[in-house]
Structure 1
Amino acid sequence: MSTLTVTSVAPLTPRMTRVTFTGDGLADVRTWPDQQLKLLFPKPGCSASVSDSPDVGVWYQAYLAVPEAERPWMRSFTVRSLAGGVLTVDFVLHGDHGPASAWAARAQPGDVIGRFGPSPDYARPVGTADLLVFAGDETALPAIASLLELLPSGQRFAAIIEVADPLEEQDVPGVRWVHRSAGEDLVSAVRAVEVPASTWVWLGGEASAVRTLRRHFVALGVPKEEIEFAGYWRRSLTQDDAPTADDLAEAQERIAALGE
């Protein structure tokens, strides 16, 4: 586990802010599509440090060994960019309804948090089908934006992102924006996409919507191995809460996909 130091904080939209970090080891991390990492946010009066071990098993055991009152809050994030030893992460702001959002709303240069990852063990290639479908809510926006930047010229794709309202749109070419303020929803918008025989799908966002859309594409004949999916958050639950039966089933399928 390593620490990160904030170097800049800049609002992107009313509900999203961009934070850049420097930290030991970042210059040595190679990049790949949809990089995931764990960020650790210190509780008041406590440290974000846990262990210097690079091994996930050893590190996680050390994390759990920290007394709960002192143990940092841990949340998963997508790398927006990583270049020249500078890490960029975009945070969705939703008030003080979570430690990551509360921290990001008050972040200032010099603040320190912890990180584990990104780990190349979880690197997954972008598909090469005739049509690539990317769908998610604002929590998936950083991942989708970074994935679209890597597509070869001429690649056909459909990118659908659900956000609160038009003020939350960002300059991401080719995206169809879905606005909750207008009564629109991600699942309905994605179901309207015509899917050819050769299709690869990437899904991220609220867990139940992701599961619904995955079932939709499987029913259309898209092979399961051609669908990347991740439930980033759960309604009324946090990452600190115990996994549901659906969460466990999703985790098993993702583990199986990594082994394929």
Structure 2
Amino acid sequence: MAAPQRRSPRILTVKSSRYLTPHMIRVTLTGDGLADFPEGQEGAHCKLAFPREGESFEAFSALYSEGRPKERVHPVRTYTVRSFRPESLEMDIDFVAHGDEGPATLWAQSAAPGDFLAFMGPGPVKLTEFYADWYLVAADMSALPVAAATLEAMPETARGVAIFEIHSEDDRQEIDIPEGIKTHWLVQDDPHLPSAAQIDFIRGLEFPDGRIQTCIAGESGVIRELRLLVQTGRGIDKADAYISGYWKLGLVEDQHQQAKREGLAG
């Protein structure tokens, strides 16, 4: 599936906000800008721009009326389209709440009906074709939305393993997963510390014969190890392996993106 054609940012408002689990906030966005939003984009990434404190809707909207500003005037962060309901023009975006004071987290924690942001995207969906004999899905909480959307798009006959690293047992989510996918929830109660839980688990997995597809995303240090383990150690073809670093310990998003451009992050 080709990436949707680029368009001007959509100004969306909050319809509702709730804690899905103790460390995950689901914000439902709406707006006329979603009238032409393409269907089937669950799991696609997007860029969200957040207003400055006290900024009016009119002033914020004016800055995006003719496209994305050439100079960054608002904090921008990358998120995932979790679900979209075209009949009601509603979109869900899930935000991890893990104790930091970043602009996206702070905005989500206080989001109330009528609050607003700018939505840019969507980018391409990560997995659009499911042809494997066996699937491996692995994600920490930052990548749980893309992993969940991918699992929900799989055929009912899919077989494989899904591994989710969460902050507490209460962070388990209800996901519509094919019966043939075995799920495992690993608890890492301090996301600010390095974790090898996914690496150790996947290293101990028995990979079956046949074609394997992966959807693996999370902290860049973990992703670097998993890429070596899956592609080099297990011989999974690069074309069948979506593996991406979404964040890096000790770096904010802008720093992480720069590190990725310089080849220093997974």
TM-score by length of 2: 0.81
For 1:32-71, list aligned pairs within 5 A: 32-46=41-55, 48-49=60-61, 50-53=63-66, 59=68, 62-64=69-71, 66=72, 71=73
CA distance in 1, matches of 2:60, 2:204: 44
Alpha-carbon distance change, 188 to 123 in structure 1, aligned in 2, over 3 angstroms:
closer
**Structure 1 position 93, deviation (Å):** 0.6
Partner of residue 239 from structure 2, selected from 215, 225, 229: 225
Aligned to 1:113: 117
Higher percent of residues as helix: 1
Q: Distance in 1 between matches of 2:170 and 2:186?
A: 12
Q: 1:136 to 1:123 in 2, by over 3 A?
A: closer
Equivalent residue for 2:222, pick from 193, 197, 209: 209
Q: Which amino acid aligns with 1:200?
A: Q
**Counterpart of 2:117 in structure 1: which amino acid?**
I
Distance 1:15 1:94 in 2: 6
Q: Which residue of 2 aligns with 1:95?
A: 99
Q: Which amino acid aligns with 2:153?
A: L
Q: Give the C-alpha shift of residue 188 in structure 1.
A: 1.2
- Match status 1:83 vs 2:90: no
- State the 1:177 CA deviation: 0.4
Measured in 2, the distance between the counterparts of 1:195 and 1:225 equals 18
Equivalent pairs: percent with the same residue? 34
Residue 174 of structure 2 is aligned to residue 171 of structure 1: yes
Closer/same/farther in 2, CA of residues 186 and 48 from structure 1, 3 Å limit: farther
Q: 1:201-229: per-residue Cα shift (whole Å, max 9, x none)?
A: 11111111112111111121101111112
Q: Does 1:5 align with 2:10?
A: no
8 Å Cα contact 1:135-1:159 kept in structure 2 = yes
**Aligned position for 2:198:** 186
C-alpha distance 226-248 of structure 1, shift in aligned 2 (>3 A): farther
Give ranges in structure 1 of 5+ residues lacking alignment: 254-260
Q: Which amino acid aligns with 2:225?
A: T
Distance 1:167 1:32, change over 3 A: same
Relative to 1, partners in 2 of residues 1:147 and 1:124: Cα closer, same or farther, differing over 3 Å?
closer
- State the alpha-carbon separation in 2 of the partners of residues 81 and 239 from structure 1: 23
Report the 3-state secondary structure (helix = DSSP H, G, I; strand = E; otherwise coil) of the residue aligned with 2:231. helix
Q: Deviations over 1:114-161 (max 9, x none)?
A: 1101145x6642431111111010111111111111111111121101
- Please give the root-mean-square deviation of Cα atoms over the aligned residues, in Å: 2.4
Letter in 2 for 1:21: L
Map of 2:76 onto structure 1: 74
Q: What SS does the corresponding residue of 1:90 show, helix, strand or coil? A: strand
Figure out how many residues of one structure are paired with residues of the other and give that number: 240
Cα 1:156–1:242, aligned 2, differ >3 Å: closer, same or farther? closer
- Change over 3 Å in CA distance of 1:53–1:190 after alignment to 2: farther
Could you tell me how far apart the structure 2 residues matched to 1:104 and 1:153 are?
33
Structure 2, unmatched stretches of 5+, are: 1-8
Residue 23 of structure 1 is aligned with which of 31, 51, 72? Answer: 31
Distance in 1, matches of 2:174 and 2:256, equals 37
Aligned partner of 1:256 in structure 2 is: none
For residues 42 and 207 of structure 2, the distance between their equivalents in structure 1, rounded to whole angstroms, comes to 23
Determine the C-alpha separation between the residues in 2 that align with 1:213 and 1:126: 22
